[in-house]
A = this chain, B = another copy of it.
Amino acid sequence: MTSAILVEAAQLEASVRAALEGAGASAQSVDATTRALMHASRVGVDSHGVRLVPHYCKVMAGGRVNPRPDVTARRTAAATGTVDGDHGLGHLTSYRAAEFAVELARESGIGAVGAIRSSHLGAAGAYAMAIAEAGMIGFATTNTDSVVGLFDGTRAFHGTNPLAFAAPVAGDKPWLLDMATSSIPMNRVLLYRSLGQMLPAGVAADPQGLATRDPKEADMLLPLGGEGYGFKGAALAGVATLLTGILNGTTLDPDFIPMVGDVDVSTPRNMGHFFLAIDPERFAGAAVFADGMRRYLDALRAVPPVDGGRVMAPGDREWDVEARRAQEGIPVDPDTAAFLGLRGAPQDAA
């Protein structure tokens, strides 16, 4: 196993932009994808960070993803709309849809936007966070290809189907939850595979449905809640499918061409997403919201931790990682570093 290398954020961002430009992506596509990937890599969601650049370049070259899409937004009612991604990179479509949801919510109190003809969006939290940065509660979700088993099922059915929520915190970083409805995302399995590390127990199963800790054997993830309560994780994955594939009339989880592997990379996958923005101004008001958020976070962080533990609000871990990486650099795995031409970068072990 080769160590990851640490790369300064600005240098990494420039190399990501260069790779995407080199693959023929439009300026808007490069901006959006770089923004989403750098968000993930900065806050420690490495499974959804710059590691994905080679994949995106490959699917743009193959024709699955349109490098120069004409993304269009259509309002369908006072508070709803659809963004058609024209099979471009999902990040561009998703930021556009998140902005549209904010516009609708500014006028109508809440905005809900479905995205169609999109593709992999990276970390869903990037878009929930964009909504929170506009002062609203943000929600983003997507369905993805079948890699997670059902409760009592012997076959992968749902995608890891993330649910991402974010909310503004006055004078501080947002409250941010970006969770797969499996215990871990498949991209994390791929990262463990690339790093040669063993998986935690009870998070993945082999092709026969038996639990395994070997990332090379892992063929299927297990839903959040484990052996006793995995029906909850499976149902939450279903919520993502309801709000994306079913509501938008886009591809259902079991019908997706797999994201990775020895698969067709020339056919668009018609992925759907869903975004919500909720304006606190139309409920108890932004000031009451800010005060409640502050009291909530203060009370939460005042709970005494178990020995050796730390009580954290969603996002706390991410902002800690972000601060550390701003100092130390962002770890990049060897394959991605080679792809981005970062072989000569500082070799401090991650």
Instruction: Report which A residues bind B (CB closer than 8 A).
Output: 76-80, 82, 107-112, 114, 116, 137, 150-155, 157, 163, 165, 167, 175, 177, 179, 183, 200-203, 209, 224-226, 228-229, 231-233, 235-236, 238-239, 241-243, 245-249, 252, 254, 276, 278-280, 282-285, 288-289, 292-293, 295-296, 299-300, 303-306, 309-314
Contacts and interface: CB of A to CB of B under 8 A. Distances in A.
A299 B157 contact: yes
Given A108-B80, A112-B110, A165-B242, A153 B247 contact: no
A-B pairs, 8 with minimum CB distance? A80-B109, A152-B309, A77-B109, A249-B284, A79-B79, A246-B292, A78-B108, A78-B78
Contact of A280 (B152, B228, B235, B247): B247
Contacts of A306: 152-154, 209
A249 B289 CA distance: 7
Contact of A304 (B154, B177, B295, B310): B154
Contacts of A209: 306
A177 B246 contact: no
A295 B250 CA distance: 12
Given A78-B79, A108-B77, A252-B296, A155 B303 contact: yes
B284 A238 contact: no
13 contacts: A77-B108, A78-B108, A80-B283, A110-B276, A116-B284, A150-B300, A151-B311, A153-B305, A165-B239, A165-B242, A226-B226, A231-B312, A235-B314
B296 A245 contact: yes
A341 B76 CA distance: 54
Contacts of A280: 247
Given A225-B225, A283-B114, A241 B303 contact: no
Contact of A282 (B80, B239, B295): B80
A298 to B, nearest CB: 10
A228 B246 contact: no
B78 A109 contact: yes
Nearest to A242: B167
Contacts of A241: 296
A74 to B, nearest CB: 11
A313 B254 CA distance: 15
B296 A249 contact: no
B293 A246 contact: yes
A282 B285 CA distance: 28
A178 to B, nearest CB: 9
